[in-house]
Amino acid sequence: MPEHPTPPAQDCLLALRDVIDGPLHEIAGRFSRFLSDRWPHTALVVFTRECTGRPRKVAGDTETINKVTIGELEQLKALVEPGHALGITATIAGAPRTVWAVQDPIGTLLVLIPRASRKRLPEPAALADLFGIVATSIRQQVAQASPDYLAESRAASTERARTIAEMAAAQETALVAILTTLRSTRLDDHRARVAATESASAALVALRSAQKTDLALSEEPASAAFTKLRKKIRQTLRHHDAQLDLVPPAPAARPLPGDIAHAARAMTLTAVLAFTAQKGLGRLRVAWESDDTSLRIDVRDQESGSLDVNDLRHQLDGRARTLGATVELEAVPGWGSRMTIHLPFEPTHDHAGETRLESLNRRELEVLRSLTQGKRNKAIAAELGVTESTVKFHVAGVLKKLEVSSRGEAAALAINAGFAPHPL
């Protein structure tokens, strides 16, 4: 026995650190395990608009969580006061259920479906406080827009968009066919025909509404994205003497995909900090311009020209490589410094990546396919029937052959090169 056992509160903090220290797309599972003793539950959902790729982070009973809709979560948010937790009966996963819900002050929602024997929510204040820490961690990870987050977000957004488009096309065709048939004057039973027509019309409206809701979650208006950036820049440089010239994109600019909006803010702010590190900086211009295919970020100063180009390029390289962006940097002492970034809205087809993919053997390709799905070593090992140490060996081989430094970059390279994220 140790002389000084670890206090329970410290145990809790250490365990909570493990929850927030890890891949963002696995945070629901880690948080579910953390809560399971004090708040027993069968399913957990974290709903956040911060994560455009995966606004729902889920853990627990697959059959239940797969039925939870964005509309249900939005309705539940309206019932829970920010900063509080409560037990309530609400429609979740298509049926009225007892749920434990918490809404963090920034609008992130936690939903627990308690085990059948547990109805009353224990320690609501403690649950709200713990979730507040987790929600803050999620927001910070998204704001930093790491290459791993961007790769996971882009892969999720691409797959979701494809699935929704296919589902919408199939269901819309079916509903239009039903309406056409029911509106036929050759059918009898007027009342039945009217009722059926109303039902089909309502279903069609709901389907189109779901598409719009999902689109709102996966895109940001360019002007709104820049407004967030402007606020962050002014907060960061409130004690700096440089004159700021912040030029937003045109009001009619195309909405930005969520991963592009997060990356653009993070990369712009990184550049701004690098530029303001120059001595004697008097004026800084930051501008965003966009067309139908890409966003152009332009940051420049006048006269300084002492920008550490190599250091800034190193800071931007991971995000740029993940999203297929190009970064141009120049600094001329006495004249000025400039950074220009072109961020494509859609993944570019990477022919160099294709060449590197050809160097992988069959087992490494299987491991890479799992990496594009965001799986960790344990899950990959179970799927392939090998040990975790063997998976680590293959992951190291994949990173070396693809000339990347992280799993997220490997996944991004594979997706950009057209490598299928799922077995054919």
Distance of CA 424 to the CA centre of its chain: 25
284 contacts 240 by C-beta, under 8 angstroms: no
pTM to 2 decimal places? 0.52
100 contacts 87 by C-beta, under 8 angstroms: yes
* Residue 84, Ramachandran bin (φ over 0: left; ψ between -120 and 50: alpha; else beta): beta
Checking if the pLDDT of 76 tops 60, the result is yes
Q: What is the chain's percent helix, strand, coil content, to nearest 5?
A: 55, 20, 30
HSE, side-chain direction, 13 A CA sphere, residue 57: 27
Residue 334: both structure tokens together:
């006495």
pLDDT score recorded for residue 279? 82
41 contacts 60 by C-beta, under 8 angstroms: yes
280 contacts 336 by C-beta, under 8 angstroms: no
Q: Report the first-to-last Cα separation within the chain, whole angstroms.
A: 54
Pairwise CA distance, residues 25 & 311, whole Å: 29
Checking if the pLDDT of 187 tops 50, the result is yes
- Mean pLDDT over 297-307 rounds to 87
* Residue 291, Ramachandran bin (φ over 0: left; ψ between -120 and 50: alpha; else beta): beta
- Mean pLDDT over 107-132 rounds to 88
What are the tens digits of pLDDT across the range 365-409? 888 888 877 778 888 888 888 888 889 999 999 888 888 877 877
Residue 193: both structure tokens together:
């025909």
Pairwise CA distance, residues 42 & 32, whole Å: 9
pLDDT-derived band at 149, boundaries 50, 70, 90: low
Q: Which of 343, 323, 340, 409 is nearest to 371 (CA)?
A: 409
Pairwise CA distance, residues 331 & 339, whole Å: 9
358-372 b/e (C-beta count within 10 Å ≥ 16 → b): eebeebbbbbbbbbb
Torsion 373-29-21-343 (CA) sign? positive
pLDDT-derived band at 194, boundaries 50, 70, 90: low
Backbone angles phi, psi at 290, to 5 degrees: -145, 155
23-27, 163-167, 287-291, 300-304: lowest mean pLDDT where?
Answer: 163-167
The helix/strand/coil state of 338 is: strand
Strand partners, 91: 96
